[in-house]
Amino acid sequence: MIQPQQTTIHMATDHAGYTLKECIKTHLEAGGYKVIDHGAFEFDPADDYPVFVQKAAEEVSKANDDEVLGIVLGGSGQGEAIAASRFPNIRTTVCYGTGDIVKEVLVAGRAHNNANVLSIGARFVDKSEVISFVDLWLTTPFTREERHLRRLSQLK
Active site residues: 80, 112
Neighbours of 48 (CB within 10 A): 13
Cα 44 to chain centroid, rounded: 22
Residue 136 amino acid letter? L
Verify cis geometry, omega within 30 degrees of 0, for the bond prior to 81: no
CA–CA distance, 85 with 115 (Å, rounded to integer): 11
DSSP state of 142: P
Reported as type and span, the H/E element at residue 119 is: strand 117-125
Helical residues (DSSP H) of the chain, grouped into ranges: 18-30, 49-63, 78-84, 99-111, 130-139, 146-155
